Amino acid sequence: MVSDGGDNASKHKLAEIVAMVGQPEAIIYTIGIFDDQDADRNPGVLKRLAKDTGGEAFLPESLKDVAPICEQIARDIRNQYTIAYVPKNRKRDGSYRIVQVKASAPARGRLSVRTRAGYYAPSALPSAAAKATDHDAHN
């Protein structure tokens, strides 16, 4: 995402956007391009969207830095790995769960891992929806 981070015509509030990008499949890399006189700029939003999704925020000092940043993002995307796990906590309570990933390699020591900070557990189906689903399954 290339932006100044400012909000000048959104249909959604920042909290709604953060909830939407909280889906496990969404990884956002942001590039902040700012005009010194732009009162609307908001690098904090760009940093938050990147951090919350396991991406990275870039705030280049000049336009000549943008192409190398795009190349770095392309390398990152081509070299991503997917790690899955099954949580011990099986409660379907919609709560936020923090995740920490640590990695190391022989002769290299600790490796740098960039990932989202956590996820929202699924919520239990409301009883009316559960009854409708159960009814549909039997018909």
Using one digit for the tens of pLDDT, what is the confidence trace for 13-50? 777 776 766 666 778 899 998 887 878 788 888 998 88
Task: Give yes or no: residues 72 and 119 share one domain.
Answer: no
Tokens of 125: 């189906």
Task: Give yes or no: residues 24 and 57 share one domain.
Answer: yes
Range of the domain at 100: 84-139
Entry pTM: 0.66
Task: Give yes or no: residues 32 and 14 share one domain.
Answer: yes
Q: In Å, how far from its chain's centre is CA 58?
A: 15
Counting every residue written for the chain, the total comes to: 139
- Residue 110, pLDDT score: 92
- Identify the H or E element spanning 96: strand 96-98
CATH number at residue 7: 3.40.50.410
Task: Give yes or no: residues 19 and 75 share one domain.
Answer: yes
* Phi–psi pair at 68, nearest 5 degrees: -60, -35
Task: Give yes or no: residues 49 and 33 share one domain.
Answer: yes
- Residue 60, pLDDT score: 93
Task: Give yes or no: residues 5 and 40 share one domain.
Answer: yes
Q: At what angle do helices 43-53 and 14-21 cross, to 10 degrees?
A: 30
Yes or no: say if 43 and 2 are a contact pair by the CB < 8 Å rule.
no
Task: Give yes or no: residues 124 and 109 share one domain.
Answer: yes
Task: Give yes or no: residues 15 and 76 share one domain.
Answer: yes
